[in-house]
Amino acid sequence: MRFVIALFAVILAAVANDAAARDIEPGQWRITTTMSSPILSGPQTTTSTQCVTREDLKDPRRAINKRLQSDCRTVSLTQDGNTYSWEVRCALADMSNRGTLRHGHGTMTGKSLMTANVFGQKLDMSTKIFAKRLGPCT
């Protein structure tokens, strides 16, 4: 879950600097994720909130670095209209995450696929993401 929130922060910070993302505002965001994997008994849904500050939106590198694990790096981040695609890799965990996120006024929806090597076994986990701005940070 921490990894998904970090990825949300990466994408949010990156898109907020783009002219097409002027409707993205700092504030409290509710992030709902639904994760599915063969190792889970069924889809797992969690909801959390995150304060996104003006500083996060002005300096995506700072936002990225404070939320990702030290061995993770953003490999690619591309834009097509209001849709962003990314790939993040973490060397120590032998993990990668690819996904897309589409933003509208006060909302974001997306999906990602995490692939990891756990004790020599390949593990895939898909995640659906929905985020909504709730208002100012509390």
Q: Does the predicted model carry a pTM greater than 0.85?
A: no
pLDDT surpassing 60 at residue 18: no
Most confident by average pLDDT, 25-29, 79-83, 122-126: 122-126
Residue 90: what pLDDT?
A: 86
- Tens digits of residue pLDDT in 86-133: 888 888 878 998 999 888 888 989 999 999 988 888 999 999 999 999
Closest C-alpha to 3, from 123, 106, 132, 121: 123
Average pLDDT of the chain is 80
Residue 44: what pLDDT?
A: 95
Cα-flanking dihedrals φ and ψ of residue 55, to 5°?
Answer: -65, -40
Residue 64: what pLDDT?
A: 57
Contacts for 75-78: CB closer than 8 Å, 24+ residues apart: 77/10, 77/11, 77/14
pLDDT surpassing 80 at residue 54: no
Q: What residues does each domain of the chain span?
A: 2-135
Residue 19's pLDDT band (boundaries 50, 70, 90)?
A: very low
Rounded CA-CA distance 46/89 in Å is 23
In this structure, are residues 24 and 57 in contact, taking their beta carbons and an 8 Å threshold? yes
Residue 138: what pLDDT?
A: 84
